[in-house]
Amino acid sequence: MKFFLIIFLFIAPIDIMAQDPDSAWIRKNYTKIERYIPMRDGVRLFTSIYIPKDTLEEHPVLLTRTPYSCRPYGEQNWKDYWNSFRSIYLKEKYILVTQDVRGKWMSEGEFRDVRPFNPDKKGRETDEAGDSWDTIEWLLANIPYNNGNVGVYGISYPGFYSTMAAASGHPALKAVSPQAPVTNWFIGDDFHHHGAFFLMDAFAFYVGRGFGLPHRGPTDREAPKFEYYSHDNYKFYLETGALRNFSDLAGDSVRFWNEMFEHPNYDDWWKVRDARNATHDLKPAILWVGGEFDAEDHWGAWNSYLAAETNNPGKDFNNLVMGPWWHGQWETSEGTHLGNIFFGSNTSLWYQENIEVPFFNYYLKGKGDISHIAEATVFFTGENVWKEFDDWPPEEMNIKELNLIKNGSLSWEQPVDPDGFTEYPSDPSHPVPYTEDVHFNRTRNYMVDDQRFAERRPDVATFKTDILREDVTIAGEVVADLFTSISTTDADFVVKLIDVFPDSLSFSDVDIYSTSDPEFSYPMGGYEMLVHGEVMRGRYRNSYEYPEAFVPGKIERVKFSIGNIAHTFKRGHRIMVQIQSSWFPLVDRNPQQFIDIYHCQDEDFIRADIRIHHNREFVSRILIPVLDQR
């Protein structure tokens, strides 16, 4: 019996695929071709093209440019569009195009990370906007039965290339959707937040996955993977030690890793790689999309939209959608929850059916109506509802001060204590973990994880309000405004905004919070849901360009954004703020001395005592954008 069961398990999936109606329909109604498209400098980019067989009408082009491969290669090998919502675009008879960007996979040329935008290209000069223009020109001239309208979309790094495509200004490019777009890798996306190095993501991406290894020429083979000696990420990163040791593991060939280490501060090298430089004079309609619980590019979606608003006054369609999603969750079929937090509906399907597909159909096919798509469509966790706004941040928002008070309290009232402060230690040999569990890869769920494990540590300062008597809805940028003194010359400051659920929470009362079967549910009574957290490397408190040492014992201000947030703290809950000086191995350890962190030694890491002052003279506070819903 076991033998026949095993045979069935291997055969059944193949049989199911063969009978998949969408797969059969797509193969019957589409042709796949692969072409090398020449750029203005002679470099050729490998491009995979799916063309409708229907010649009775003309079809729009939907393009994605990616460094992650347009596999599977070979005209007989088909991408499984039928397993994603992208199959809708094939049913709508789009020409679907995916391209390996220059210097990646099967394309020719040299790859450069976040290649700077050049608004004044001349002759054969190239950038990603120029490559987008040249690709569009070739497609319109060489793919029959196209209707002359082109759209571009992409998630994460392909989101960066979408922003660059929008900046090309090609007249046929009518609609672009940069989704979780890589935007600024020093201030807010992926590898640095406020100058603090996101070690785990950077090492796993450039070295662990081999993304940073040099491109020796067109290839369909993956780069070799790094062999970790332990799959306990806290153990591996702590025992490896100082950043210079990670560079030894990376070797000399991982170019961007080494370039980051050569530019520890926000200099011109970083500034020209800010994708917001490409958001001036945008011609196509733009739909910015992002996830409120995106662990990678949460910052880029909000801030690219805001930059485009500023740089294109009066633009007809420059709209924003932010949902309760992990990185790319909006393109999946499962938008009901993240970790232990449930959203009350399938938010991904709602977005696909009501926002993205209507957006592209309208601008590329002249089909349907988009008048229902608001300037900003934002999902508010806590109450689990979509809200629509004419502006973001909304005009109905008012900034209120939530003040840190002695004995771990948070209050809307000013502190009266003449010299109050809270002190905690920061020991680099025992950094605060970013999550309670043991993991190998960085989790996506940490963005909503229960923070009770951190509250119980002596190196985390915790403040919370009394039980709320009415709902408090946050809509906009939350800012931490702290007064601190430290015993050393540098430190990091991690601020986490947390929703504390009632201790008496019952599964039967609030099934939106967890699965309806209590036997398999996480205990949600007293759950401390991370709404959002952010880190500031203290040396950059006054300037990203010109870091400054702390004077030990001197009280100084550390003020920074912890991000745009859309969340309702329900009546009966509490608002909590946690402050700590490590978040490991998410963020690299600060040696807590004003030295070159990227090249320091293991013995340079020292313990610090951190004081957060909260008294009449030095009022540490969180600036909260509260939505007036009257």
Per-residue pLDDT tens over the stretch 428-458 = 999 999 999 999 999 999 999 999 999 999 9
- List the single range of 51-60, 372-381, 411-420, 502-511 with lowest mean pLDDT: 502-511
pLDDT above 80: residue 337: yes
For residues 501 and 150, give the distance between their C-alpha atoms in angstroms, rounded to a whole number.
Answer: 47
Average confidence (pLDDT) over 481-485: 98
Burial track 101-134 (b if 16+ CB lie within 10 A, e otherwise): bbbbbbbbbebbbbbbbbeeeeeeebbbbbbbbb
In sequence order, what are the residues at sequence separation of 6 or more whose Cβ sits closer than 8 angstroms to the Cβ of residue 11? Answer: none
pLDDT above 70: residue 18: no
For the chain, percent of residues with pLDDT exceeding 90: 92
pLDDT above 80: residue 306: yes
pLDDT at 520: 53
Mean of per-residue pLDDT scores for the chain: 94
pLDDT at 36: 98
Average confidence (pLDDT) over 585-604: 98
pLDDT at 151: 98
- List the single range of 19-23, 360-364, 408-412 with lowest mean pLDDT: 19-23
pLDDT at 360: 98
For residues 249 and 449, give the distance between their C-alpha atoms in angstroms, rounded to a whole number.
Answer: 31
Measure the CA angle with vertex 244, ends 242 and 246; round to 5°.
85
- Comparing CA positions, the residue from 427, 324, 326, 303 lying closest to residue 377 is 324
In sequence order, what are the residues at sequence separation of 6 or more whose Cβ sits closer than 8 angstroms to the Cβ of residue 129? Answer: 117, 118, 121, 164, 165, 167, 168, 169, 278
In sequence order, what are the residues at sequence separation of 6 or more whose Cβ sits closer than 8 angstroms to the Cβ of residue 606? Answer: 428, 488, 591, 592, 593
Domains belonging to the chain, first-starting first, are 22-184+273-389 (3.40.50.1820), 193-271 (1.10.3020.10), 397-627 (2.60.120.260)
DSSP annotation string for 73-101: PSTT----GGGSTTHHHHHTT-EEEEEEP
For residues 520 and 275, give the distance between their C-alpha atoms in angstroms, rounded to a whole number.
Answer: 44
Task: Write the pLDDT tens digit of every residue in 233-251.
Answer: 999 999 999 999 999 999 9
Measure the CA angle with vertex 601, ends 264 and 438; round to 5°.
85
- Residue 506 — pLDDT band, cuts 50, 70, 90? low
Task: Write the pLDDT tens digit of every residue in 399-418.
Answer: 999 999 999 999 999 999 99
For residues 443 and 207, give the distance between their C-alpha atoms in angstroms, rounded to a whole number.
Answer: 18
The alpha carbon torsion through 394, 400, 404, 405 (nearest 10 deg) reads -150
- Residue 630 — pLDDT band, cuts 50, 70, 90? low
From residue 468, how far is each of 473, 477, 574 by CA, in Å? Answer: 12, 21, 6
For residues 558 and 491, give the distance between their C-alpha atoms in angstroms, rounded to a whole number.
Answer: 11
Task: Write the pLDDT tens digit of every residue in 258-304.
Answer: 999 999 999 999 999 999 999 999 999 999 999 999 999 999 999 99
Average confidence (pLDDT) over 185-213: 97
Q: What are the φ and ψ backbone dihedral angles of 338, each rounded to 5 degrees?
A: -135, 120
- Residue 19 — pLDDT band, cuts 50, 70, 90? low
The answer to whether residues 107 and 46 touch, using CB atoms and an 8 Å cutoff, is: yes
- Residue 512 — pLDDT band, cuts 50, 70, 90? very low
pLDDT at 511: 45
pLDDT above 80: residue 9: no
From residue 435, how far is each of 23, 62, 84, 339, 583 by CA, in Å? Answer: 40, 39, 31, 12, 9
